[in-house]
Amino acid sequence: MTADTRNSALDAATGLPPARTPWEETWRLLRKNRLAFSGLLIFVIFFLVAVAGILLTAGSRPVLDPAQVRLQEKLLPPLSLPNHEVLPPEALPPLGRYLLGTDDLGRDVFARMLQGAWVSLTVGFVAVGIAVIIGIILGGLAGYYGDQELEVGHLLVWTTGVIAAFLLLTNRPAGAAAAAAASAVIWIVMRRERSLYEGPPSRRRWFTRGLVSVDTLIMRAVDVMLCFPSFFLILTVVALLPASLYNIMVVIGLTSWMGTTRFVRAEFLSLREQDFVAAARALGIGDMRIIFRHIMPNAMAPVLVSATLGIATAILTEAGLSFLGFGVPPPHATWGNILSDGKQFIFDAPWLTFAPGIVILIVVLAFNLFGEGLRDIMNPKLRERN
């Protein structure tokens, strides 16, 4: 009854109800889903805070210096005022107060939290970005080209190729050239063989004999990866590598692509059989365009959902690593190492534990709510009507 008047008139030219693009529709449903929408709001706030944090805490003379040590002012509770007498003027907190108190070295916890926000944000996004890219490529390959047999020759060509690259990187050009030549020779032999023995696969020879299907290979790799308890895998790898933010992001990314791969494969398998893909093939559209223009956009919904949930997991993983001391090296602050430093003073200075703890809880919860909400919204069954 109180319907928007713009909404209630039929479009004169088409005789259809007013136009709504899929994105507008998603946005409309998102606004109706209160939990997911508040998740999104928190996410936006977190994003702004993290960006503001990196602007305020980076540089040689940051506005808020997370590394400023004030031994006179250690373990002050939140909102306490700095002591103007003992501090040199450049060490005074620019906000006039220690919003979240200070730690055992008298560093401003608020500044450290801001710096940590950026770490969490980048770890979340970069790690998930890596995982999603791997997941889309492998899942897409398994789903679209899954029936194709991988031949013995393929494997040999690739192994020698990888060896060549490795030798080149370790500065052994002679060995690299030899490996590359071997790779090329096998490739040529494969082509010869294939043209000679056109016919049923049983008549193929050695190099072109089918070994496993692409699908089997990729999905077994997923199974193997899933067998490792991934947190301990990450711990092991991180213990071997020099500690740095980039290594952490890459390692988390490389150990969390399996879920996306499975989703993408499943979507590709069902989308590939749809008539619109057959129609595209009938028009003579190339494989790459079919994959990226016709199938991929339809497979993005579950990827988006799992990516959102993945960010929450990555943030938690990074906090866990930092807590255990395997994360970003000090003095750089992350939520995990603030938490870890604070645990010794949990009775004397509980804000050192609560500040990062509660923030991690809220951010992770927000991502999870948003992800779950997206899943509901993108479920076609719930969208049909309305």
Partner 1 sequence: MKSEAERTSLQGVPQPGQNVPILQVRDLKKSFPVKRGLMQRTRQLVRAVDGVDLDIAAGRTLGLVGESGCGKSTVARMILRLLKSDSGTIRFEGRVIDALSEKQFKPLRRSIQMIFQDPYSSLNPRMTVAQSIAEGVRIAGIAGRRQQRERIEELLTMVGMPPAVADRYPHEFSGGQRQRVGIARALSVAPRLILCDEPISALDVSIQAQIINLLKDLQDRLGLSYLFISHDLHVVSYICDNVCVMYRGRIVEAAPADALFDDPRHPYTHKLLASAPSLLAKAEQPPPVEARRDPLPPGACTYAQQCPEMDSACLDGPTAMHQVGPDHWVRCPPAAGKNP
Partner 2 sequence: MHFHGEGPVARAVDGIDFQIHRRQTVCIVGESGCGKTVTALAVMGLLPMPPARIAGGRILFDGRSLLDLPADQWRTLRGRRIAMVFQEPMTSLNPVFTIGDQIRETILAHEALKEAQARLRTISLLNDVGIEDPERRASDYPHQLSGGQRQRAMIAMALACGPDLIIADEPTTALDVTVQAQILHLLQRLQADKQMAIQYITHDLSVVSAIADRIYVMYAGVMVEQGNPGQIFQQARHPYTRALLDALPTKEKRGQRLATIPGTVPHPAYKPSGCPFHPRCGFREPACERDFPQMCDYGDGHGARCPVIQRMGGFP
Site residues, partner 1 (CB under 8 A)? 11, 13-17, 19-22, 274-276, 278-285, 293-294, 297-298
- The one of partner 1, partner 2, none whose footprint includes residue 169, by CB under 5 to 8 A per kind, is none
The answer to the question of residue 282 lying near partner 2 (CB under 8 A) is: no
Instruction: Output 94 or 201, the one with its CB closest to partner 1.
Output: 201
- The one of partner 1, partner 2, none whose footprint includes residue 21, by CB under 5 to 8 A per kind, is partner 1
Instruction: Output 41 or 279, the one with its CB closest to partner 1.
Output: 279
Near partner 2 in 366-385, by CB under 8 A:
385
Instruction: Output 8 or 202, the one with its CB closest to partner 2.
Output: 8
What is the biggest distance separating any 2 CA atoms in the chain, rounded to whole angstroms? 91
Q: Of the ranges 6-14, 121-129, 213-221, 323-331, which one interacts with partner 2 (CB under 8 A)?
A: 6-14
CB-based contact 105:98 (threshold 8 Å): no
CA distance 94 to 155: 61
The answer to the question of residue 12 lying near partner 2 (CB under 8 A) is: no
Q: Of the ranges 4-12, 258-266, 310-318, 334-342, which one interacts with partner 2 (CB under 8 A)?
A: 4-12
At position 188, the amino acid (one-letter code) is I
The answer to the question of residue 61 lying near partner 2 (CB under 8 A) is: no
Near partner 2 in 16-55, by CB under 8 A:
17
The answer to the question of residue 59 lying near partner 2 (CB under 8 A) is: no
The answer to the question of residue 171 lying near partner 2 (CB under 8 A) is: no
- The one of partner 1, partner 2, none whose footprint includes residue 96, by CB under 5 to 8 A per kind, is none
CA distance 198 to 194: 6
Binding residues for partner 2, rule CB under 8 A, total 10
The answer to the question of residue 3 lying near partner 2 (CB under 8 A) is: yes
> Which residue from 12, 13, 14, 15 is in contact with partner 2, where contact means CB under 8 A?
15
- The one of partner 2, partner 1, none whose footprint includes residue 279, by CB under 5 to 8 A per kind, is partner 1
Provide the minimum distance between the beta carbon of 190 and partner 1 in the complex, in angstroms, as a whole number: 19
Instruction: Output 18 or 201, the one with its CB closest to partner 2.
Output: 18
Q: Of the ranges 2-10, 134-142, 310-318, 357-365, which one interacts with partner 2 (CB under 8 A)?
A: 2-10
Instruction: Output 14 or 171, the one with its CB closest to partner 2.
Output: 14
> Which residue from 170, 171, 195, 386 is in contact with partner 2, where contact means CB under 8 A?
386
Q: What is the CA radius of gyration of the chain?
A: 27
Provide the minimum distance between the beta carbon of 303 and partner 1 in the complex, in angstroms, as a whole number: 14
- The one of partner 2, partner 1, none whose footprint includes residue 86, by CB under 5 to 8 A per kind, is none
Provide the minimum distance between the beta carbon of 142 and partner 1 in the complex, in angstroms, as a whole number: 15
Provide the minimum distance between the beta carbon of 322 and partner 1 in the complex, in angstroms, as a whole number: 40
Surface-to-core class of residue 313, CB atoms within 10 Å of its CB (0-12 exposed, 13-18 middle, 19+ buried): buried
CA distance 148 to 146: 6
> Which residue from 10, 45, 58, 165 is in contact with partner 2, where contact means CB under 8 A?
10
Provide the minimum distance between the beta carbon of 102 and partner 1 in the complex, in angstroms, as a whole number: 52
Provide the minimum distance between the beta carbon of 13 and partner 1 in the complex, in angstroms, as a whole number: 3
- Using CA atoms, how far residue 105 sits from 39, 109, 302, 328, 341, in Å, is 35, 10, 45, 19, 10
Surface-to-core class of residue 86, CB atoms within 10 Å of its CB (0-12 exposed, 13-18 middle, 19+ buried): exposed
Beta bridge partners of 108: 102
What the block records as the tokens of 105 is 């070295």
Binding site for partner 2 (CB under 8 A): 1, 3-4, 7-8, 10, 15, 17, 385-386
